Amino acid sequence: MLADRTLVVTMWRAGYVSAHGQWRVSPSATNYQDYLRRVGGLSPGQEKLLVAEADGIDDDAVDAACRRYMEVEHGWPANEVRVAIMSAPKNGRILVDVYGQAGRYTLEVDVDTSRVTGVWSRALR
Protein backbone atom coordinates (compact mmCIF):
# COMPACT_ATOMS: atom_id res chain seq x y z
CA MET A 1 0.00 0.00 0.00
CA LEU A 2 1.28 3.45 -0.93
CA ALA A 3 1.31 6.43 1.44
CA ASP A 4 -1.95 7.76 -0.09
CA ARG A 5 -3.55 4.33 0.65
CA THR A 6 -3.53 3.31 -3.03
CA LEU A 7 -3.14 -0.44 -3.41
CA VAL A 8 -0.54 -1.71 -5.86
CA VAL A 9 -1.49 -5.22 -6.97
CA THR A 10 1.26 -7.22 -8.63
CA MET A 11 0.40 -10.55 -10.22
CA TRP A 12 3.12 -13.04 -11.00
CA ARG A 13 2.79 -16.69 -11.80
CA ALA A 14 5.50 -19.04 -13.01
CA GLY A 15 4.98 -22.39 -14.60
CA TYR A 16 4.25 -23.81 -18.01
CA VAL A 17 2.84 -20.44 -19.05
CA SER A 18 4.17 -17.52 -17.01
CA ALA A 19 1.98 -14.52 -16.19
CA HIS A 20 2.78 -11.00 -15.08
CA GLY A 21 0.70 -7.91 -14.43
CA GLN A 22 0.35 -4.91 -12.15
CA TRP A 23 -2.40 -2.41 -11.49
CA ARG A 24 -3.33 0.21 -8.91
CA VAL A 25 -6.55 0.49 -6.95
CA SER A 26 -7.26 3.94 -5.52
CA PRO A 27 -9.23 4.44 -2.29
CA SER A 28 -12.07 5.93 -4.38
CA ALA A 29 -12.43 2.79 -6.53
CA THR A 30 -15.70 0.92 -6.10
CA ASN A 31 -13.85 -2.36 -5.49
CA TYR A 32 -11.28 -0.93 -3.05
CA GLN A 33 -12.91 -2.43 0.05
CA ASP A 34 -13.15 -5.81 -1.70
CA TYR A 35 -9.37 -5.76 -2.22
CA LEU A 36 -8.74 -4.78 1.40
CA ARG A 37 -10.96 -7.62 2.65
CA ARG A 38 -9.19 -10.08 0.36
CA VAL A 39 -5.78 -9.20 1.81
CA GLY A 40 -7.03 -8.97 5.39
CA GLY A 41 -6.32 -5.24 5.66
CA LEU A 42 -3.15 -3.25 4.98
CA SER A 43 -1.35 -0.19 6.29
CA PRO A 44 0.65 2.29 4.18
CA GLY A 45 4.04 0.76 3.33
CA GLN A 46 2.89 -2.78 4.10
CA GLU A 47 3.08 -5.63 1.57
CA LYS A 48 1.41 -9.05 1.61
CA LEU A 49 1.84 -12.15 -0.50
CA LEU A 50 -1.39 -13.95 -1.41
CA VAL A 51 -2.25 -17.17 -3.15
CA ALA A 52 -3.81 -16.44 -6.53
CA GLU A 53 -7.44 -17.23 -7.18
CA ALA A 54 -8.56 -18.96 -10.35
CA ASP A 55 -8.45 -16.49 -13.24
CA GLY A 56 -10.64 -18.34 -15.74
CA ILE A 57 -7.78 -18.66 -18.22
CA ASP A 58 -7.10 -22.08 -19.72
CA ASP A 59 -3.30 -21.82 -19.78
CA ASP A 60 -2.85 -24.90 -21.94
CA ALA A 61 -5.36 -23.68 -24.55
CA VAL A 62 -3.77 -20.21 -24.67
CA ASP A 63 -0.31 -21.71 -24.98
CA ALA A 64 -1.40 -24.05 -27.81
CA ALA A 65 -3.24 -21.25 -29.65
CA CYS A 66 -0.23 -18.91 -29.50
CA ARG A 67 2.19 -21.61 -30.63
CA ARG A 68 -0.15 -22.64 -33.47
CA TYR A 69 -0.64 -19.00 -34.55
CA MET A 70 3.10 -18.29 -34.66
CA GLU A 71 3.77 -21.52 -36.55
CA VAL A 72 1.04 -20.96 -39.17
CA GLU A 73 1.33 -17.18 -39.60
CA HIS A 74 5.07 -16.64 -39.08
CA GLY A 75 6.70 -20.02 -39.68
CA TRP A 76 8.08 -20.36 -36.15
CA PRO A 77 8.56 -23.97 -34.99
CA ALA A 78 5.93 -24.43 -32.24
CA ASN A 79 8.44 -26.13 -29.94
CA GLU A 80 10.67 -23.02 -30.02
CA VAL A 81 7.97 -20.53 -28.99
CA ARG A 82 7.94 -19.23 -25.40
CA VAL A 83 4.62 -17.90 -24.11
CA ALA A 84 4.01 -15.40 -21.27
CA ILE A 85 0.57 -14.13 -20.26
CA MET A 86 1.07 -10.41 -19.58
CA SER A 87 -2.34 -9.20 -18.39
CA ALA A 88 -5.37 -10.20 -16.39
CA PRO A 89 -8.54 -10.71 -18.42
CA LYS A 90 -10.16 -7.44 -19.51
CA ASN A 91 -13.27 -7.42 -21.67
CA GLY A 92 -12.73 -11.12 -22.30
CA ARG A 93 -9.22 -10.66 -23.68
CA ILE A 94 -5.66 -11.05 -22.41
CA LEU A 95 -2.29 -9.92 -23.74
CA VAL A 96 0.29 -12.63 -24.34
CA ASP A 97 3.94 -12.13 -25.24
CA VAL A 98 5.48 -14.79 -27.46
CA TYR A 99 9.23 -15.06 -27.93
CA GLY A 100 11.34 -16.92 -30.43
CA GLN A 101 14.68 -16.61 -32.19
CA ALA A 102 13.03 -14.46 -34.86
CA GLY A 103 11.69 -11.85 -32.44
CA ARG A 104 8.91 -11.04 -30.03
CA TYR A 105 5.21 -10.47 -30.60
CA THR A 106 2.37 -9.46 -28.34
CA LEU A 107 -0.85 -11.29 -29.11
CA GLU A 108 -4.34 -10.40 -27.93
CA VAL A 109 -6.18 -13.62 -27.11
CA ASP A 110 -9.90 -14.16 -26.46
CA VAL A 111 -10.20 -15.92 -23.09
CA ASP A 112 -13.33 -17.90 -24.01
CA THR A 113 -12.20 -19.20 -27.41
CA SER A 114 -8.39 -19.02 -27.04
CA ARG A 115 -8.28 -17.41 -30.49
CA VAL A 116 -5.75 -14.73 -31.40
CA THR A 117 -7.65 -11.48 -32.06
CA GLY A 118 -4.80 -8.96 -32.40
CA VAL A 119 -1.04 -8.89 -33.08
CA TRP A 120 1.77 -6.42 -32.36
CA SER A 121 5.38 -7.00 -33.39
CA ARG A 122 8.48 -5.96 -31.43
CA ALA A 123 12.12 -6.57 -32.13
CA LEU A 124 14.21 -8.40 -29.55
CA ARG A 125 16.72 -6.26 -27.70
Q: Is the same domain home to 70 and 117?
A: yes
How do residues 81-101 score in pLDDT, each as one tens digit? 999 888 777 888 888 999 888
Q: Select from 33, 92, 1, 17 the least CA-distant residue to 9.
A: 1
CA gap 88, 13 in Å, rounded: 11
pLDDT more than 90, % of the chain: 33
Q: In this structure, which amino acid lies at residue 89? A: P
Q: Is the same domain home to 116 and 97?
A: yes
Decide: 95 and 86 in contact? Cβ < 8 Å: yes
How do residues 37-47 score in pLDDT, each as one tens digit? 888 888 999 88
Domain boundary, last residue among 37, 53, 69: 53
CATH number at residue 68: 3.10.450.40
Give the phi and the psi of residue 25 in degrees, each rounded to 5. -125, 110
* 1-5 average pLDDT score: 93
pTM of the model as a whole: 0.61
Q: Is the same domain home to 37 and 73?
A: no
Domain boundary, last residue among 32, 53, 74: 53
Q: Is the same domain home to 116 and 63?
A: yes
Lowest mean pLDDT among 16-20, 29-33, 74-78, 108-112: 16-20
Per the prediction, the chain carries an average pLDDT of 83
74: Cα separation from own chain's centroid: 23
The yes-or-no verdict on residue 2 having pLDDT over 50 is yes
- The reported pLDDT for the residue numbered 108 is 93
pLDDT level of residue 6 (50, 70, 90 thresholds): very high
Q: Is the same domain home to 4 and 46?
A: yes
Q: Is the same domain home to 2 and 43?
A: yes
Q: Is the same domain home to 47 and 83?
A: no
Q: Is the same domain home to 34 and 69?
A: no
Q: Is the same domain home to 68 and 118?
A: yes
Q: Is the same domain home to 43 and 75?
A: no
Instruction: Give the structural domain span for 93.
Output: 59-122
